[in-house]
A and B are shown apart, each in its own frame.
Chain A
Amino acid sequence: MDFRFDIIYDYAPLFLRGTLLTIGISLLGILFGSILGLVIGIGKMSPKRYLNLPTSAYINFFRGTPLLVQVYIVHFGIIPPIYGSTNVIVAAIVALSLNSAAYTAEIYRAGIQSIDKGQREAAYSLGMTHRQAMRHIIIPQAIKRMIPAFGNEFIVLIKDSSIVSVIAAPELMYWGKVMQTQYYRIWEPYLTAAAIYFVLTYSLSKLLAYLERKV
């Protein structure tokens, strides 16, 4: 197979810029997604219907519809009325955050509910309040269980961020498509992009593995 490194070299500065944007929108998506996810996860665990119903609906919607459609809805439907015009970077971050929140909400919930009931009962029998039991007994154990699931979600989010190239966000995959356009070759642009995504996700998984040992 002929593989042309010269055209990759030619596009290297654009791939670099795209990679920086991919890292940026992914990190912000992870950050906002985790914060919003915590709020939604707490809502879903609540026995109160007015908290439980909307948060469950949120999770079902964002887990049950394709990210591609969510990106279009946010970009063409939600951002223009609020912002006055479209803005790809904002739309990309909002769409990724909203989507990620649904998954992280379930990670928080599953993590907390995975801790055996006996742990809570034991804490109560020591005279702890609900708040104390959560803080000292339940949450620390739950966090340890959540880390692998978060790692998985973050890696998926970095790769899924490639979808925002459909709204012409100039991230990594976008420049891959532009390169494909100029030369009508598919392996050079897509394999280069894939290699960069791999480096990003692999470094993240190493970082998370380190964190897992530390906690």
Chain B
Amino acid sequence: MKKWGLFALAALLVVALAACGKKDSGSGAKVYKFATDAAYSPMELMDKDKVVGFDADFLDAVMKEAGLDYQLVNTGWDPMLQSVKDGKEYAGGISSVSITDERKQTYDYSAPYFESTNMILSKAGSGLKTGQDLKDKKVAVQISTTADTIMSDIMGKDNTNLKRFDSNALAFTEMESGGVDAVVADVAIVGEYLKQHPDKNLEGNLDPSFPSEFYGILLPKGSDLKAKIDPAIKKVLESGKYAEIYKKWIGKEPNVQNVLNAK
């Protein structure tokens, strides 16, 4: 008798799983699923159970322009990288991913859609204004950001005075605890932090020699989606829609021409 019970349970599970599977594929038009790591405010973050932020609004505008159905899912960073590489379930990833040559060996990118610059955050009066000032200092960055790349180039990839944290929040806490002299992070994120902590006597400095990097939508190698969304990205950039989204999340006017000219 017991065996039959188990068998029934297994059969029930199989039916339930099959039912779940159907929901995804049975809805007619193709739904492109995009993965993100929604922990990078204001670019992408979670509002309760919904992904919001600059990237979410931008993707929405692009997919509407291209006339495609899509779904944006918060998968976390590593799962996003792997599932986009596989290209089976997820058609792409959008998560402030900067375009670099090393990464192009594994992925395709959409046209660039965002210019990223970095800012140096330090105690006011510390005199740490440029990347070269930081060369022999202790610096915290968020791992896998452009700040990480820039500071790795200046300080050396294997320099242990360059501390890479999982999040900018941890990097900022490290500076408050006296573990590092400065944090390098995206200007939008440093700006947000300065705004929230006016009493901490901090300053942010832009180093004009920091190279700009550009974000692209991460696509699997050989993806046919690129041909569909690149024209849509161009249209969204040229229309006022892009500036509107930019102002909403970043709080200032974008330099659209720089993004359009980027390769």
* Interface, chain A (partner B; CB < 8 A): 13-14, 17, 75-76, 80, 84-88, 166-168, 170, 174, 177-178, 180-187
Q: Which residues of B contact A180 (CB under 8 A)?
A: 78, 81, 144
Given contacts A85-B178, A86-B174, A177-B164, contact A183 B103 (CB under 8 A): yes
Contact of A166 with B166 in the complex, beta carbons under 8 Å: yes
Q: Which residues of B contact A76 (CB under 8 A)?
A: 173-174, 177
In the assembled complex, 29 residue pairs joining A and B whose CB atoms fall closer than 8 Å, in A order, are A14-B157, A14-B158, A17-B158, A76-B173, A80-B177, A80-B178, A84-B178, A85-B179, A86-B174, A167-B170, A168-B163, A168-B165, A174-B164, A177-B143, A178-B164, A180-B144, A181-B143, A181-B144, A181-B148, A182-B102, A182-B149, A183-B106, A184-B81, A184-B106, A184-B107, A184-B218, A185-B81, A186-B81, A186-B82
Which residue of A17, A178, A180, A187 has the most chain B CB atoms within 10 A of its CB atom?
Answer: A178
Q: Is the interface of B mostly helix, strand, loop or mixed?
A: mixed
Contact of A86 with B103 in the complex, beta carbons under 8 Å: no
Q: Is the interface of A mostly helix, strand, loop or mixed?
A: helix
Q: Which residues of B contact A86 (CB under 8 A)?
A: 174, 177-179
* Interface, chain B (partner A; CB < 8 A): 78, 81-82, 85, 97, 102-103, 105-107, 140, 143-144, 148-149, 157-158, 160, 163-166, 170, 173-174, 177-179, 218
Given contacts A76-B177, A168-B164, contact A186 B78 (CB under 8 A): yes
User: Closest 7 A-B residue pairs measured CB to CB?
Assistant: A86-B179, A85-B178, A168-B163, A181-B144, A80-B177, A184-B103, A86-B177
Q: Which residues of A contact B174 (CB under 8 A)?
A: 76, 86, 167-168
Q: Which single residue of chain A is at the shortest CB-CB distance from B98?
A: A184
Instruction: Give A180 to B164 CA distance when docked, in angstroms.
Output: 12
Known pairs A75-B177, A80-B177, A178-B164; list 13 more (Cβ under 8 Å). A14-B157, A166-B165, A166-B166, A167-B170, A168-B163, A168-B174, A180-B144, A181-B143, A181-B144, A183-B103, A184-B103, A185-B85, A186-B81
Q: Which residues of B contact A166 (CB under 8 A)?
A: 165-166, 170
Q: Which residues of A contact B179 (CB under 8 A)?
A: 80, 85-88
Q: Which residues of B contact A185 (CB under 8 A)?
A: 81, 85, 106
Instruction: Give A174 to B158 CA distance when docked, in angstroms.
Output: 11
Instruction: Give A19 to B163 CA distance when docked, in angstroms.
Output: 17
- Nearest chain A CB to B226 CB, angstrom units: 17
Q: Which residues of B contact A13 (CB under 8 A)?
A: 158
Q: Which residues of A contact B158 (CB under 8 A)?
A: 13-14, 17
Q: Which residues of A contact B78 (CB under 8 A)?
A: 180, 186
- Nearest chain B CB to A96 CB, angstrom units: 18
Given contacts A76-B173, A76-B177, A180-B78, contact A170 B144 (CB under 8 A): no
Q: Which residues of A contact B143 (CB under 8 A)?
A: 177-178, 181
Instruction: Give A186 to B140 CA distance when docked, in angstroms.
Output: 23
Q: Which residues of A contact B173 (CB under 8 A)?
A: 76
Contact of B103 with A85 in the complex, beta carbons under 8 Å: no
Query: In the complex, which of the residues A75, A178, A187 contacts B157, with contact meaning CB atoms closer than 8 Å?
Result: A178
Instruction: Give A181 to B151 CA distance when docked, in angstroms.
Output: 13
Instruction: Give A186 to B103 CA distance when docked, in angstroms.
Output: 12
Q: Which single residue of chain B is at the shortest CB-CB distance from A185?
A: B106
- Nearest chain B CB to A156 CB, angstrom units: 22
Q: Which residues of B contact A88 (CB under 8 A)?
A: 163, 179
Q: Which residues of A contact B160 (CB under 8 A)?
A: 170
Instruction: Give A166 to B143 CA distance when docked, in angstroms.
Output: 10
Q: Which residues of B contact A187 (CB under 8 A)?
A: 82
Q: Which residues of A contact B81 (CB under 8 A)?
A: 180, 184-186
- Nearest chain A CB to B244 CB, angstrom units: 30
Instruction: Give A98 to B179 CA distance when docked, in angstroms.
Output: 22
Q: Which residues of A contact B164 (CB under 8 A)?
A: 168, 174, 177-178, 181
Q: Which residues of B contact A184 (CB under 8 A)?
A: 81, 97, 102-103, 106-107, 144, 218
